[in-house]
Amino acid sequence: MFEILKQDQNSRARTGVIKTDHGEIQTPAYVIVGTYASVLCLEPEDLPKTKTQLIIANTYHLWRTLGDKGLVDFPGLHEMMQWQGPLMTDSGGFQVFSLGFLRESGMGYSAAKQKDESEHKSMVRITEAGVYFRPDIENSEELYLDAETSIKIQEQLAADIIVAFDEPTAPIADYEYTKSAMQRTHNWAERSLEAKSSAQKIYGVVQGGVYEDLRKESAKFIGGFPFEGIAIGSTYGDAYGGTKAKTADMLEWTIPNLPEHKPRHLFGVGGIEDVLNGVEAGIDTFDCVIPTREARHARLWTSSGPIDIKKGKFDFDDDVIDEACNCPVCAERQISRSQLRKLFKEKNLEAGRLTTIHNVYFFNDLMEKIREAVNENRFLEFKKEYLAKLSDL
């Protein structure tokens, strides 16, 4: 499934190719988020214009949307999305964290939306066997998800790459809870492998929080099973109480204890500096909502750093988003910054489409430049120069 093409001489950075039934993925690569089996704001014909290689959809949310009956005759994500490139699904494990601890603690993106104490209540009940979800705080009826169910759903969704059921933990979780969650993840990993009956490729998930011994133990345990790839659990954004330093430590503890010949995916990390650090540490693929979510909120990425196109200073700016960008918005249609600002002011849906095309292209193009640098044994030089351009932002 995975072939290493080039190993950097001065770091763990490497290039490779992941082979799937729907095409090859050149790594390091950015995995674009399509939670509900679509990349928000984009039409299927837009995706090939963005250099996108791999899209990840959300198992929990699709299960909730389609229901068990809807999944029975489901034609598969490729047909639903009108996308014939590689696809990946997560396990639903992140929702165990986001609807449980994250909600209860008031951390993360949902915190700003919480209006009263009832919205701080956990919507999950975790057992050793699996997890019970309450889709509505006032609704007593629970939905049950376990390793076997997660794998069955992912088989019905029919992505090329699927993920074993897991339980992420926050950086602020104590040692004992993090250890018990890791042990559940290991148990569920074995059950996920046993439950899989398809030809899909499956990744196991390394957990262990911010604790060195747990991360090393988890890496060795998951790495010892016949998974085709390894995913590394990470809830280390600022929203979750994490830091770049903690992420760096976690990768340093984890990656040396993983098999060299398997692809490594880092969940939920995708800022420019984070990606460069991850590649240096030996990560092959990353998924994150930054390109798409920030595009919808008018934050655009350029070779000189991010800009907020809603600011008044762009009212009469006739420059394109980024003169150095070859995306369809900048190079072909030459949409100006003032035009985009006007579209956002008018709440025109085309604003989100154009900015999403640009941002997705920007991050995929960055990964292409990273691959070139690794292949030419100049990755650390490339990283230093790239970050220097952003240092004053």
| E strand or H helix at 145 | strand 143-146
Specify whether the CB–CB gap between 215 and 206 falls below 8 A. yes
> What are residue 89's DSSP bridge partners?
57
CA angle 134–80–291, rounded 5-degree value: 75
- The rounded distance, in Å, linking the Cα atoms of 125 and 145 is 10
Specify whether the CB–CB gap between 222 and 205 falls below 8 A. yes
CA angle 256–284–61, rounded 5-degree value: 110
Known active-site residue 46? no
Specify whether the CB–CB gap between 364 and 270 falls below 8 A. no
DSSP classification of residue 391:
T
Which residue in 112, 114, 132 sits closest to 123, CA to CA?
132
Known active-site residue 287? yes
Specify whether the CB–CB gap between 259 and 225 falls below 8 A. no
CA angle 321–323–326, rounded 5-degree value: 90
Which residue in 103, 128, 96 sits closest to 118, CA to CA?
103
The amino acid that residue 330 corresponds to is C
Tokens of 235: 């809830």
The CA R_g of the chain, rounded to the nearest whole Å, is: 21
Catalytic residue among 90, 146, 160, 166: 90
**Strand blocks (E) in 224-357:** 229-232, 264-266, 285-288, 299-302, 305-308
CA distances from 76 to 160, 195, 385 (A): 11, 19, 43
The amino acid that residue 353 corresponds to is R
- The rounded distance, in Å, linking the Cα atoms of 71 and 90 is 16
Catalytic residue among 146, 160, 287, 322: 287
- The SS3 call for residue 232 is strand
| Residue numbers annotated as active site | 90, 287
